[in-house]
Chains A and B, each alone.
With several copies, the nearest count.
Chain A
Amino acid sequence: MTKVIGVEDAIRKIENGMTIMVGGFIGCGAPGQLLEEVYGKEVKDLTLIANDTGILGDALSQLIVHRCVSKLIATHIGTNKETGRQMSAGELEVNLVPQGTLVEQIRAAGAGLGGILTPTGIGTIVEEGKQKLVINGTEYLLELPIRANVALLNAYKADKAGNLVYRRAARNFNPVMAMAADLVIAQVDHIVEVGDIDPDEVMTPGIFVDYLVQKQPRGVTNLG
């Protein structure tokens, strides 16, 4: 049984109002073609969880520009001015989170943990409203799990059972998000047969991945 489907069938599973996670780091390793379909379909009122909102002009940035997103959880929005503008204008709710905290919160959701204690953010506005615990004399913030309805990922290689392999710095948030969403969709450069990837080479076990979308080759583009 293959998990490969068309991009339209994949993105049709995203409904207005859902929470989506998107892999990538300032475009690198972001699922550009899946995102184009999301804003093309004008999905609305999404809660977006991602490291950033891309560089103005790329696929992820267009989710903001096309006003698909009503709430954002991210670590950095400086590369997409439209995000800052919508935030300042009160049109977009933005929750900025330290990067190491965000990735642990997502991991905690995927790993069935009730939360993690981090020293990051102590003494800053990040600690507002959060429970603090003192362990062996050091203060920590209790940070809670973050999960999503859908995760949109990018991988370099996959077998039809959904086992994923990432390349270089394009790995980033993708493997962690694969564990923390009800539905996981990955766009993939190279889809191979089951058995063609060595068990030790797999970076995301296929059981986490619901659908694979073949990435279409393109001309030179900056769309993630």
Chain B
Amino acid sequence: MDKEARMDWLVKRVAQEFKSGDVVNLGIGIPTKVANALPEGIEIILQSENGYMGVGPAPEAGNEDPDTVNAGGQYATILPGGCCFDSATSFAIIRGGHVDATVLGALQVDEEGNLASWMIPGKMVPGMGGAMDLVVGARRVIVAMEHATKNGGLKILKKCDLPLTAAKQVNLIVTEMGVIEVTSKGLVLKEIAPGLTFEEVQACTEPILYLPE
């Protein structure tokens, strides 16, 4: 598989993690693409933390509504059965455990499930936005990201060295190389992307990967 096919595999693989009726928050970037890759028959409810439930596809050109944007500030739509609320309610939903899963990107993840995704000191400090609440509050935290940096630097580490978004909250890491579950015993490589070997995935991963029992 080429790079594009691998990224496509990643997105489809994340989309298999849901059952119908799940309330899901998708982060910006790779996670956003998951909405279009759901298996036949699976319907999930997407939350947008800026204030509504039932995120639909981007509007057609000419139908943009300036009051209906997603958490990335892009024009969006609200599906039938969706509803709007204020930020206090939105984060009550998030922090209160009413979101079944959040899918977000990461700068680093480590074998304890620690996540760094919001700043690189002295270089990039955009702020955490809603990420810290999402990662603490969602019942399941799925990191969807490229396995390594563009320069080949490791992102799945023994210990994150960037400032954390949250401690010990990540449940699953899905990359273009495979699917890794964070367990109390360490990282378990549940699934390897087509065409790759265990050794190839391990070579791009700092902590020891375990095979499922």
Binding site for B on A (CB under 8 A): 1, 25-29, 51-52, 55, 74-79, 84, 87, 96, 98-101, 103-104, 107, 109-113, 118-126, 156, 159, 161, 163, 166-176, 179, 194-195, 197, 199-200, 202-203, 205-208
Contact = CB atoms under 8 A, between A and B. Distances in A.
A197 B48 CA distance: 19
A167 B67 CA distance: 7
21 contacts: A28-B67, A29-B67, A55-B73, A74-B127, A75-B130, A79-B73, A99-B87, A99-B129, A107-B88, A110-B92, A119-B136, A163-B81, A166-B86, A169-B84, A174-B86, A195-B80, A199-B84, A200-B84, A205-B83, A207-B45, A207-B53
Interface string B97-108: 110000000000
B86 A112 contact: no
B133 A169 contact: no
Contacts of A163: 81, 83
B92 A112 contact: yes
Contacts of B166: 120, 122-124
Contacts of A78: 126-127
B91 interface: yes
Contacts of B50: 25-26, 28, 169, 172
Interface in B150-175: 163-168
B9 interface: no
Nearest to A119: B136
B91 A207 contact: no
B96 interface: yes
Interface string B1-41: 00000000000000000001101000000000000000000
